[in-house]
Amino acid sequence: MTIGLINANPIVHAKKERIARTEDLHCDDAVDPLDIYDSVRDIRDPEHPYSLEQLSVLSEESVTVDEKRGRILITFTPTIQHCSMATVIGLCLRVKLMNSFPPHFKVDIKVSPGSHANEESVNKQLNDKERVAAALENPNLRQLVDECLQSNDL
């Protein structure tokens, strides 16, 4: 891994207050953007001991769902333009969603427009399923992703 931190001084935000959510009256297949957000907000940043939510990499607006067509779009904002951890964060999101939601959902993961110097290249990698599969077979990457997904704060 890199010797120095990519972004040594990230801006950390207070944790957003969580509202206890009542039982959903939707049918079982319904997927709420807030359910998805809940499942990813606590993913740890690969470099800093803070969640993606705390670093404003993710917010509630990050998630859009087209329930009729079964499509989920997540956009995330790396803390800096040249963040080399962008693909790792994207991978974490993909794995978390794969484990949390039914496989028939089509998931697209992108950096928010204008937030990264290599936006096109990062988006392309994150949405090529063979590249994703190959990345997850890399033991070092897999370990890093697993560490980020271990949610220590609930």
Inter-residue contact 12 to 50 (CB < 8 Å): yes
The residue among 64 and 151 lying less far from other proteins, judged by its C-beta, is 64
Fill in the per-residue mask, 76 to 105: x = in contact with other proteins (CB under 8 A), - = not in contact. Answer: ---------------------------xx-
Inter-residue contact 12 to 55 (CB < 8 Å): yes
H helix runs in the chain, sequence order = 33-40, 86-100, 119-126, 129-136, 139-149
The residue among 11 and 134 lying less far from other proteins, judged by its C-beta, is 134
Q: Shortest gap between Cβ of 72 and other proteins (angstroms)? A: 13
CA distance 91 to 108: 11
Q: Does 131 bind other proteins (CB under 8 A)?
A: yes
Answer for which of 49, 106, 143, 147 binds other proteins (CB under 8 A) is 106
User: 111-130: which residues touch other proteins (CB under 8 A)?
Assistant: 124, 128-130
The residue among 103 and 114 lying less far from other proteins, judged by its C-beta, is 103
User: Beta strands 63-66 and 106-111: pairing type?
Assistant: unpaired
Name the nearest CA neighbour of 77 among 86, 69, 68. 86
Q: Does 24 bind other proteins (CB under 8 A)?
A: no
